[in-house]
Amino acid sequence: MYKTNYERWIQHPNLDKALKTELDTMNKKQIEDAFYTNIEFGTAGMRGVLGPGTNRINVHTIAKANVGFAKYIVGLGEAALSQGVAIGYDNRHMSYEFAIVSANVLASYNIRSYVFESLRPTPELSYAVRELNCAGGIMITASHNPKEYNGYKLYDDKGCQLVPALAQQVIDHVNAIEDELGLAIDCREDQKQLIEIIGEAIDEKYYAEVLKIQMQPNINKEDVKIVFSPEHGTANVPVREIYTRSGYHFIAVEEQCSPDPDFSNTETPNPEEAGAYTLSIEYAKREDADLILVCDPDADRMGVGVKHDNDYVLLSGNQSGSILIEYMLDQLTKQNMMPANPVMFNTVVTSDLGEKIASHYNVATEKTLTGFKFIGEKVAKYEVTGEKQYVFGYEESYGSLIAPFVRDKDAPQACLMLAEATCYYKAQGKTLVDVLEDLYKRHGYYEESQVSFTLKGMEGAAKIQEILTTLRTTNVETIDAYKVVRYEDYKQCIIRENNEEKALTGFAVSDVLKYYLSDGSWIAIRPSGTEPKCKFYYCVKGTSMENANVKGAALKKAMEQFTN
């Protein structure tokens, strides 16, 4: 199949000249990987390597995606065309070009668009959809992926990424297109008036909403110093602006503030990886900073480093999320601002610690699948019914949402709230690591970690499916020394517990497996929706952190042996 696709592209008169030049330099293996399949347009949109080919992100596959989204917007009715679509983009190679192609394709269907004048964070795009009363939104970003990647995310009229039922409508339109090279990537001159450039006015309204989340706006900020890095991405302007307006002392990692698509001055733009903090830690040591905050390129995720015992400790997304929960719920309680029926959201692969903290404050927890769109969907539901009131939402992957005027992860909000929490606890003589230790003493020790296997290309995709199939077709009764007391399969929608099988309900179908162990620990496995990875999540409960770490190492070894 890849040879047929390759020949169709190389001979097509509409093939972009730059892509044609690149194709001419590719070897057989590269051609196979670029053409063996169509890049997946899934429930999270598209994300992939830049370059020519049906399995790559380029102007032609972006045009194809936009034709699918345009037909979805047209299907919403005449009013949706004039409501239009907000379009944002990050610092990556081709992001601006893909944003313009998106606006042109929408205009060719007589759909209005609002395109940001320059790069903006993903959460601000979500906000713009809501503020401008748009019918949808597009964000051109590959989030935290390496420089070779770019991506395309879609939003509904509430500023939430399309949930599966809506995404499927777009997918059906996209899959019906047989010749992506035959699609125009421009519009008529008279249709260009449908494209409006936006910028400062939306920025100011977004900043104003972010600043409103402060729980103690007049807290003493004099004794706390923050090192901040946007990792060459979109957080640079908004976080600096918000900190300046709210009076926090911060030092920006200037080498990582330029919107460099090659991420030249960072080992990785992913705050889940230690290499993202190398330069920030150097700054922090030099400045004797209390807090390090590192955002990913589209500013929906925030990584955290804390000065503790004269060293810098990196926190996981589970840990920073737990600290935010503790600070916010404690303040809501002390200030008599806790709503009547509070609810906190996280995912099925998020640590149990956050739920324990929420329960301590009589706050309900509801779990969703991985993907903040599912949390956004819950927010929208309760906004209508009034049954419960949102207080917090987060994922283990360094993403949280303080106030739901945005319907996606929002790093600028998280940066502001964590800075406030740092000031509050420092006044008590505590670091955020001390706060975390207090939470462990109160609720139990949890070793939360993730192991990912990167398996690229056609063979890698097959290997990932082999791992999941092996697990699904094997009745796993014990892992290491612990009995499996409950098994959940979110693809086959089944639960096995006490030798009985029943239906798993309340979730969209998803390729996720989860094993609950007799000691209170659990292990979850899922393929990444955005990278060629198979992810193993561990939430290991121990009597101390040392005990949890030892147990966690044994469980990881057992799973490695089991999955070969």
Do 466 and 515 fall within a single domain? yes
How many domains does the chain contain in total?
A: 3
Does a structural domain hold residue 59? Answer: yes
Give the residue-averaged pLDDT of 304-320: 97
Q: Are 529 and 371 in contact (CB under 8 A)?
A: yes
Phi/psi at 135 (nearest 5 deg)? Answer: -85, -15
Q: Same domain for 474 and 409?
A: no
The residue with greater pLDDT, 403 or 465, is: 403
Given 140, 172, 202, the domain boundary residue is: 202
How much is the pLDDT for 283? 98
> 398, 418, 443 — which closes off a domain?
443
280 and 342 fall within a common domain? yes
Say which CATH number the domain at 543 has.
3.30.310.50
Asked whether residue 94 falls in the same domain as residue 235, the answer is no
Are 77 and 143 found together in one domain? Answer: yes
**Residue 209 domain-assigned (yes or no):** no
Any catalytic annotation for residue 143? yes
Q: Which residue has the higher pLDDT, 361 or 527?
A: 361
- How far apart, in whole angstroms, are the C-alpha atoms of residue 128 and residue 227? 28
Determine the structural domain holding residue 99 and report its residue range.
2-202
Residue 211 lies in a domain: no
- Whether the predicted pLDDT of 536 surpasses 70: yes
Query: In terms of domains, do 126 and 273 share one?
Result: no
My answer on whether 399 and 453 are in the same domain is no
What burial class does residue 311 get, using C-beta atoms within 10 Å of its C-beta: 0-12 exposed, 13-18 middle, 19+ buried?
A: exposed
Residue 41, pLDDT above cutoff 80 = no
Q: What is the pLDDT of residue 43?
A: 64
Query: Do the beta carbons of residue 296 and residue 143 sit within 8 Å?
Result: yes
Query: SS3 string of 134-162?
Result: CCEEEEECCCCCCCCEEEEEEECCCCCEC
> What confidence category does residue 88 fall into, taking pLDDT thresholds of 50, 70 and 90?
very high
- Does residue 210 belong to any structural domain of this protein? no
CB 139 within 8 A of CB 155: yes
* 487 domain-assigned: yes
> Is pLDDT above 80 for 564?
no
Q: Model confidence over 206-228: pLDDT tens digits?
A: 999 999 999 999 999 999 999 99
On whether both 350 and 323 belong to a single domain, the answer is: yes
Question: What is the CATH number for 67?
Answer: 3.40.120.10
Is residue 157 located within the same domain as residue 46? yes
- 3-class DSSP assignment, residue 367: strand
Distance CA(314)–CA(72), nearest Å, equals: 43
132 or 471, higher pLDDT: 132
Read off the pLDDT of residues 426-474 as tens digits, 9 standing for 90 and up: 999 999 999 999 999 999 999 999 998 887 777 888 888 888 998 999 8
pTM for the model stands at: 0.95
**Res. 288: pLDDT tops 90:** yes
321 and 343 both lie in a single domain: yes
User: Is there a domain that residue 207 lies in?
Assistant: no
Say yes or no: 196 and 53 in one domain.
yes
Instruction: Return the structure tokens found at 291.
Output: 């807090």
Query: Given 173, 202, 231, which residue is the final one in a domain?
Result: 202
**Is position 333 within any domain?**
yes
Average pLDDT over residues 53-73: 97
- Mean pLDDT over 331-357 rounds to 98
Q: Exactly one of 95, 102, 143, 280 is catalytic; which is it?
A: 143
218 occurs within a structural domain: no
Tokens 């400790």 appear where? 313
pLDDT, residue 456, reads 78
Residues 469 and 381 in one domain: no
